[in-house]
Amino acid sequence: MKIIFAILISLFTLISPLLAEEKTSLIVYTYDSFNTEWGPGPKIEKAFEEECNCDLKFVSAGDGAALLAKIRLEGEKTKADVVLGLDSNVLEEARKTKLFLPNSLNIELDLPIQWKDDTFLPFDWGFFAFVFDGNKTKKIPQSFRELVDSDIRLVIQDPRSSTPGLGLLLWIQKIFGSDSKSLWEKMSDNIVTVTPGWSEAYGLFLEGEAEGVLSYTTSPAYHIIAEKDFSKKAAIFTEGHLMQIEVAAITAQTSKKKLAKSFMTFLISDKAQSIIPTTNWMYPAKNPKLALPEAFDIKVAKDKAIYLQPKSVPELTSEALLVWKQALRK
């Protein structure tokens, strides 16, 4: 008996330091491109873990719209502590799930609009735009009308699974209203394919499958800064551009509320916001101390910036999706 007891004591002595070193895990659901080796995920993970003495785990869940679908499907059984990458155009649908907690954070942000929401915290923002290869498209269209009257081949994203795809849907519906069906019918001649998400669409564009792709005004900044390639151009349309604000939120099911709140606070810190521009290629929600690179200086005039109040989006989406399906079915 004494021998067995001695063995147990020895085993406990060996195991206890390992148990003491086990770190708390924080699981964050996000979209695919955020969690790639070239995206912000790895750098934010490293920086936060240096502060929290925890294990931050990003879980990829497709594009932004697919992210909401995943959390909705899992419901109260979700393993996520935080969801990062929902955008302003799906906020009302996300709020209706009742799967997110108020964060009680009072942080001053640097957004083009005043943000009042105690549940969803912005971490970056941008404007949807069509991006073209200037070597292949000598005359960049300056409006939707010019685009659909051209023979430029386009890749766009599915609005049912992609936040940029949904953004284009709402952008066109907001500007053209009852004339949107006619515009979509014309644009259908330009569209090469409709992809599930942004990554697939942008990949096809870079492979030369199309001259233009639905993306962001800031997308050319990546090519300029990372590749010294000045050929990619974002078209600034006379009709204006729809704004997208990306947000993070704490799930109602998390048992790690304090750690989740610490991550949310970190996400808006100068350290994290300095990472966002040149990894996610969007504008930071809170301006970092260092000025943004000159490549980000692609301006959309204030009177051409379109922001949809989240409560107005579900009804507009229903109308626009019906029009989109009918127009692309022809």
Identify whether residues 167 and 81 lie together within a single domain.
no
The number of domains in the chain is 2
Question: In the numeric block, which tokens belong to residue 184?
Answer: 């979509």
Predicted pLDDT at 16? 47
Q: Which residues contact 291 (CB under 8 A, 6 or more apart)?
A: none
Identify whether residues 95 and 152 lie together within a single domain.
no
Predicted pLDDT at 7? 45
- Averaged over successive runs of 10 residues, the pLDDT of the chain (330 residues) comes to 49 47 90 92 97 95 85 94 95 94 91 93 97 94 97 96 94 96 96 94 96 97 96 96 97 97 97 97 94 90 92 93 86
**Alpha carbons 218 and 124: distance in angstroms, whole number:** 12
Identify whether residues 85 and 168 lie together within a single domain.
no
Predicted pLDDT at 22? 76
Predicted pLDDT at 171? 97
**Alpha carbons 152 and 154: distance in angstroms, whole number:** 6
Identify whether residues 50 and 120 lie together within a single domain.
yes
**Alpha carbons 115 and 163: distance in angstroms, whole number:** 20
Identify whether residues 21 and 107 lie together within a single domain.
yes
Predicted pLDDT at 5? 47
Identify whether residues 103 and 20 lie together within a single domain.
yes
Identify whether residues 12 and 22 lie together within a single domain.
yes
Identify whether residues 14 and 77 lie together within a single domain.
yes
The whole domain housing 72 covers: 2-125+244-296
Residue pair 271/51 in contact (Cβ under 8 Å)? The answer is no
Predicted pLDDT at 301? 87
Predicted pLDDT at 111? 93
| CA distance to 203, 217, 279, per residue, from 283 (Å) | 22, 10, 11
Predicted pLDDT at 298? 81
Identify whether residues 56 and 112 lie together within a single domain.
yes
Question: In the numeric block, which tokens belong to residue 204?
Answer: 């096809």
Predicted pLDDT at 21? 58
Identify whether residues 160 and 258 lie together within a single domain.
no
Residue pair 130/212 in contact (Cβ under 8 Å)? The answer is yes
| CA distance to 6, 9, 92, 154, per residue, from 3 (Å) | 5, 10, 64, 76
Identify whether residues 164 and 302 lie together within a single domain.
yes
| CA distance to 9, 193, 227, 310, per residue, from 245 (Å) | 56, 26, 26, 11
Residue pair 141/152 in contact (Cβ under 8 Å)? The answer is yes
Question: In the numeric block, which tokens belong to residue 133?
Answer: 């290869």
Identify whether residues 286 and 324 lie together within a single domain.
no
What's the CATH code of the domain at 38?
3.40.190.10
Predicted pLDDT at 205? 97
**Alpha carbons 240 and 245: distance in angstroms, whole number:** 16
Reference 186, options 196, 176, 195; nearest CA is 176
Strands 212-216 and 121-133: antiparallel
